[in-house]
Structure 1
């Protein structure tokens, strides 16, 4: 997904925002932390005089105080850019909401604890190597805690009662703790990223860090390894389909002169083409219903990229369908992270199967949580079902007696995550 142009939403009048200085700081952050470049360019700037420094919401908007930009050196501003985008990449808003629900920990004091614990998690990876540590940076050493822990571990290990009162001003926005602020634009405001776009950014950053792990600190390498599970071995899973496609009549009869046929030896002066084995055509049906989480959609993107590699990088042989209660149009694959997964309603993958069969694929791959009706008849091609990890018995919140049907016997089933 290419970087969006920066758009500034002005929330109030007063001191103007020095956009040139702010963007110079972002470019410095990109220079010294190149593995975070895609995420830094994805942030959308909102000028806001009610914010004390800089803060982010859960929709990847960055709220900026003009006064803070004016009085802060460019190198320190670059560190704030990295700090705020780290909250979003590490999903502190989603994790903060889950922790609040599990612990029934609500209120301003609990919000501050989550924000500080999230800062502890990321600040020990940020400073140094071109990003100077500002005075008063919130580090685990303030409470004699070990560096390198997760937000949840800091929250459970201490009450944080020993923190200085001066930190009560700390507010990185809902992107740091999951608690919506009155000054945020909300899900329907301008220039926010959808959950699929957010997953695409995380996917791209994690893939880049894994590709060149020596460029990133240990904390970011650990995040990249854990953000998305290792993909399935699709080369092996699709192997039977490849062999079937090659041996089927009329399939694989693609002639090539790159390697002449051995029969040419019997016909001097005549060059005969050989038959080239063709990888299978794969149609991927992704369950985008409301019961599928953001993390699972991110995992689906990872599997799509792995399937593309398994067919030799032939993206023209891979198409993708988003499906909730109804199926979308089969979209040819360009890049996995550029896919726009539409949905959010109920689930009925029968329409997804029907749409997939129109493209006459050799293999249908379905990525789902399994809470769906299945086709009554076996498709005329091989089927692989990737099931997102679920408890042994998934329950519909509206019907405690509901238990989804297992995938049909004719599908090969693998676990995702």
Structure 2
């Protein structure tokens, strides 16, 4: 039986001090981490409550300068909200949390190594997979090979999946840690320190500068917002269960065939996309936005003949059930009234559960809520607000 190695706390804390001294703009985040000794981790790992789980054997075997790099690496997972971003990934991409962890390590280590920090051997970097530097982990994840070596687990504070060593939510009974409000405040404090350091010394790496600007002046990722809105609407539509006799209930045989009981069915959502083809709409922006909507619909499992596209200016010019963007006929070019397209969609023999309206917003809207979930995908940051009962996603233009 191997004798456990005692934790060299002085060495571990000396490494944290070195990291904070070398990168003072990260000092608040580094000292906010609560150290938890754990024989179950292989190196160091974090949870979403800003606890840092440390393997004594790893501390013993790793030089102080490399430990300093690992301190910054683990703090970066939490500062960049990797667990929150992982929670927002499509379900198919969340299944392999180790692969998510590799993509996250690529995002972090690329910046740390460019900054001249030392890290232990075996680190994950974009160049190992033939990928460019300076990207976010979501992009790396899409381009990583399916079969990958398993690196050390950076914990639930990185990939979001609970780890065997996690202490759970802070309860005030010895499980110290930060809650989500405190964590967000710490991110903003650190981002402000990055900005101030940049202005006075100008030595902050580009990756940290971009991160700080995003925290202090965030931009909404409209693709994620649109995906979330459509997914929520699809779940709402799919929850509209009803009874059907097409597939009898499994309890029917118990009644001896005298009575046929209906079964519950969960209908697949039907979607109508009303496309504003009036003269104020740019073809390039419209085509790009329509392609994104099609991708979102495929991602949430809506496709084939369950999507109808209506080209509309002041009148409906084309209606088609489509399976690909290049099948859409963007006819029109006159005035603008999306109410006409919405009402035409809802008057179909099989009316949609979800209506997505792609428009620049300069249009009349129905005076009251309609029978379907309506998502207004507004092209251009200056597009006027739709009615308050419509869900709104703003799509920036490329012009």
| Map of 2:325 onto structure 1 | none
Cα shift readout 1:220-265 (whole Å, capped 9, x = no counterpart): 000011123279xxxxxxxxxxxxxxxxxxxxxxxxxxxxxxxxxx
Task: Check whether the contact 1:140–1:147 (CA below 8 A) recurs between aligned residues.
Answer: yes
Matches within 5 A, 1:304-383: none
| Map of 1:279 onto structure 2 | none
CA drift of 1:31 comes to 1.2
Task: Check whether the contact 2:45–2:153 (CA below 8 A) recurs between aligned residues.
Answer: yes
TM-score by length of 2: 0.52
- Distance in 2 between the 1:186 and 1:172 partners? 16
CA drift of 1:406 comes to 5.7
2:102 to 116, 122, 125: 116
Unaligned 5+ residue runs, structure 1? 1-12, 232-391, 393-399, 408-414
- Distance in 1 between the 2:94 and 2:102 partners? 15
**2:116 matched to 1:126?**
no
1:68 to 40, 58, 76: 58
1:221 to 190, 209, 218: 209
Q: CA 1:32–1:156 in structure 2 vs 1: closer, same or farther (change >3 Å)?
A: same
- Distance in 2 between the 1:153 and 1:106 partners? 14
**2:180 matched to 1:198?**
no
CA drift of 1:25 comes to 0.2
**2:133 matched to 1:147?**
yes
Other structure's SS at 2:73 match: helix
| Map of 2:242 onto structure 1 | none
CA drift of 1:159 comes to 2.9
Moved >4 Å (runs of 4+): 400-403
Other structure's SS at 1:55 match: strand
Q: CA 1:33–1:183 in structure 2 vs 1: closer, same or farther (change >3 Å)?
A: same
**2:184 matched to 1:184?**
no
Task: Check whether the contact 2:40–2:55 (CA below 8 A) recurs between aligned residues.
Answer: yes
Cα shift readout 1:280-308 (whole Å, capped 9, x = no counterpart): xxxxxxxxxxxxxxxxxxxxxxxxxxxxx
> RMSD of the TM alignment (CA)?
3.1
- Distance in 1 between the 2:181 and 2:204 partners? 25
Matches within 5 A, 1:9-28: 14-28=4-18
- Distance in 2 between the 1:133 and 1:193 partners? 26
- Distance in 2 between the 1:94 and 1:66 partners? 28
Cα shift readout 1:161-220 (whole Å, capped 9, x = no counterpart): 3x4x3xx24200011111111210111351110111101110011111112221310000
- Distance in 2 between the 1:223 and 1:200 partners? 15
CA drift of 1:14 comes to 3.4
CA drift of 1:35 comes to 1.1
Cα shift readout 1:337-382 (whole Å, capped 9, x = no counterpart): xxxxxxxxxxxxxxxxxxxxxxxxxxxxxxxxxxxxxxxxxxxxxx
Cα shift readout 1:376-405 (whole Å, capped 9, x = no counterpart): xxxxxxxxxxxxxxxx9xxxxxxx9899x9
Other structure's SS at 1:124 match: helix
Task: Check whether the contact 1:57–1:184 (CA below 8 A) recurs between aligned residues.
Answer: yes
Task: Check whether the contact 2:33–2:52 (CA below 8 A) recurs between aligned residues.
Answer: yes
Matches within 5 A, 1:374-413: none
Unaligned 5+ residue runs, structure 2? 220-360, 362-371, 376-386, 395-399
Q: CA 1:230–1:88 in structure 2 vs 1: closer, same or farther (change >3 Å)?
A: closer
- Distance in 1 between the 2:94 and 2:118 partners? 34
Cα shift readout 1:313-342 (whole Å, capped 9, x = no counterpart): xxxxxxxxxxxxxxxxxxxxxxxxxxxxxx
Task: Check whether the contact 2:191–2:213 (CA below 8 A) recurs between aligned residues.
Answer: yes
Other structure's SS at 1:79 match: helix
Matches within 5 A, 1:48-127: 48-99=38-89, 102-107=90-95, 110-127=96-113
Task: Check whether the contact 1:29–1:79 (CA below 8 A) recurs between aligned residues.
Answer: yes
Task: Check whether the contact 2:192–2:216 (CA below 8 A) recurs between aligned residues.
Answer: no
Task: Check whether the contact 1:209–1:215 (CA below 8 A) recurs between aligned residues.
Answer: no
CA drift of 1:34 comes to 1.1
CA drift of 1:160 comes to 4.6
Task: Check whether the contact 2:106–2:137 (CA below 8 A) recurs between aligned residues.
Answer: yes
Other structure's SS at 2:45 match: strand
Other structure's SS at 1:146 match: coil
- Distance in 2 between the 1:230 and 1:118 partners? 20
- Distance in 1 between the 2:137 and 2:165 partners? 25
